[in-house]
């Protein structure tokens, strides 16, 4: 190799000097979620950078070598991608955090397609096993439905990808901190990339955690029990600070597979005290409320991208009794008071 290997953030805990690169396995091995490999960049498409192990967004060029982990992706405004079904030598970058797979569908705005990689070899340990980002992490705790510190848990969900869930969570966290609370943030589902948790941390969260802390390149296509175990494990992780509030974001929209699965699971929803719902526009807000109502879920407040428009706010207020808050209003003391006590906004 002429260039050093650029290690993506999902592989940050892997010291390549402790492992060997097996080039022969590429002809006989079908990877599973979390399997680590080294790739050569063949052509640049959507992803012109990757987030490396030092959290920097690093330029990649044809001829570069990167280390990533196999996974999946569900991103309505970007890509749909999966694990390969058979042995192959070319793959695609699914996410800038180092999730690698095979593109199944692409949003029309990305006419240049994905960034294409050629596998060099799989990383193997001394026991001849493929290194896996999930397997090198501690085992997940079994889900018990326990909130160890009795923190008030607020769930940030949205009508779709890019509806404003993370921004809502971040500014609500800011408001909670301005009122002298200890606040933890969890991003439970998504594709590895630290931008979202970093934003909430910058807004004042005392601790942040996400699925990638336990080696998940993404959570798309995880089974229900694994998601519940992951939830319990992340709750336990952030409880070390004894937070008054835990703000949790679930990625994508309420119709997405894992999001819908969790929202329809009463063992999960029984642990949630309040919900804040983000939407892109008034119609998605109102239809989203109806969809949530069918699940027995009644949000405490509405926010998100629609609040950039006073007219959209007016449309929602004229057709719903649920309060609507801009990101600035999420920091007001009277807004924070709405979230000050568990309200059981779920009909069980």
User: Domain of 293: which CATH number?
Assistant: 3.40.50.300
Verify that 74 and 184 share a domain, yes or no. no
Residue 282 lies in a domain: yes
In the block, which residue shows the tokens 């012109």? 48
Number of structural domains (the chain) is 2
Q: Who wins on pLDDT, 292 or 149?
A: 292
> pLDDT tens-digit profile of 106-147?
998 887 899 999 999 999 999 999 999 999 999 999 999 877
Do 92 and 157 reside in the same domain of the chain? no
CA distance 345 to 272: 8
Query: Which residues, in sequence order, are bridge partners of residue 73?
Result: 81
Q: Are residues 268 and 327 in the same domain?
A: yes
Report yes or no on 13 lying in a domain.
yes
Residue 265 lies in a domain: yes
3-state secondary structure of 185: strand
**3-state class (DSSP) for residue 254:** coil
Beta bridge partners of 81: 73, 103
Mark whether 223 and 329 lie in a shared domain: yes
Give the separation between CA 68 and CA 211, rounded to whole angstroms.
16
Q: What is the dihedral of CA 187, 188, 190, 193, to 10 degrees?
A: 40
> In the listed set 124, 144, 172, which residue is the last one of a domain according to the structure?
124
Same domain, 283 and 180: yes
Judgement on whether residues 202 and 254 belong to the same structural domain of the protein: yes
Q: In this structure, what DSSP letter does residue 287 have?
A: H
109 and 175 share one domain: no
pLDDT of residue 150: 82
Rounded Cα–Cα distance for residues 296 and 291 (Å): 9
111 within domain boundaries: yes
Please give the residue range of the domain that contains residue 186. 152-338
> Which residue, chain included where needed, has tokens 């309420």?
254
Instruction: Tell which residue, 244, 245, 275, has the closest CA to residue 259.
Output: 275
Model confidence pLDDT, tens digit, residues 168-196? 999 999 999 999 999 999 999 999 999 99
Are 48 and 186 part of one and the same domain? no
Residue 70 included in any domain: yes
Which two tokens mark 210? 């996400």
Same domain, 260 and 317: yes
Q: How many CB atoms lie within 10 A of CB 176?
A: 27
Residue 92 lies inside a defined structural domain of this protein:
yes
Whether 119 and 163 map to the same domain: the answer is no
Question: Which two three-digit tokens encode residue 110?
Answer: 């990305």
198 and 157 in a common domain? yes
pLDDT the model gives residue 145:
87
Give the tokens for residue 69.
């982990």
Q: What do you get for the CA distance between the two ends of the chain, in Å?
A: 58
Q: How confident is the model at residue 341 (pLDDT cuts 50, 70, 90)?
A: low
Model pTM? Answer: 0.95
Residue 215 belongs to a domain:
yes
pLDDT band at residue 3 under the 50/70/90 scheme? confident
> Which of 75, 109, 124 represents a domain boundary (last residue)?
124
Answer yes or no: do 319 and 230 share one domain: yes
Nearest Cα neighbor of 185 from 160, 164, 165 is 165
Q: Is residue 37 part of a domain?
A: yes
- Give SS3 for 334: helix
- The residue among 88, 104, 124 that closes a domain is 124
Bridge partners of residue 155, in order along the sequence: 248, 275
């Amino acid at each position: 190799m002429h260039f050093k290997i650029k290690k993506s953030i999902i592989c940050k805990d892997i010291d390549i000097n402790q492992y060997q690169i097996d080039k022969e396995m590429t002809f006989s091995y079908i990877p599973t979620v979390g399997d680590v490999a080294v790739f050569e960049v063949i052509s640049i498409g959507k992803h012109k950078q990757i987030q490396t192990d030092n959290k920097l967004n690093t330029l990649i060029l044809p001829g570069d070598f990167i280390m990533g982990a196999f996974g999946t992706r569900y991103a309505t405004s970007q890509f749909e991608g999966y694990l390969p079904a058979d042995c192959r030598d070319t793959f695609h970058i699914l996410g800038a955090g180092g999730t690698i797979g095979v593109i199944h569908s692409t949003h029309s705005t990305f006419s240049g397609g994905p960034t294409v990689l050629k596998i060099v070899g799989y990383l193997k340990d001394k026991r001849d096993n493929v290194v896996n980002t999930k397997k090198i992490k501690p085992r997940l705790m079994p889900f018990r439905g326990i909130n160890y510190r009795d923190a008030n848990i607020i769930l940030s969900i949205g009508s779709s990808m890019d509806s404003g869930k993370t921004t809502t969570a971040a500014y609500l966290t800011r408001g909670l901190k301005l009122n002298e609370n200890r606040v933890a943030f969890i991003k439970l589902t998504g594709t590895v990339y630290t931008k979202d948790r970093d934003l909430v941390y910058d807004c004042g969260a005392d601790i942040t955690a996400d699925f990638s802390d336990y080696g998940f390149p993404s959570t798309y296509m995880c089974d229900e029990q694994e998601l519940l175990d992951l939830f319990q494990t992340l709750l336990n992780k952030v409880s070390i600070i004894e937070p008054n509030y835990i703000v949790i974001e679930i990625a994508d929209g309420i119709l997405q597979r894992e999001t819908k699965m969790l929202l329809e699971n009463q063992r999960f929803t029984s642990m949630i005290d309040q919900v804040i719902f983000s939407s892109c526009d008034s119609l998605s807000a109102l239809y989203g409320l109806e969809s949530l109502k069918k699940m027995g879920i009644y949000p405490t407040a509405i926010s998100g991208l629609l609040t950039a428009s006073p007219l959209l706010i007016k449309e929602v207020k004229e057709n719903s009794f649920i309060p609507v808050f801009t990101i600035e209003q999420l920091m007001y003391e009277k807004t924070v008071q709405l979230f000050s006590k568990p309200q059981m906004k779920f009909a069980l």
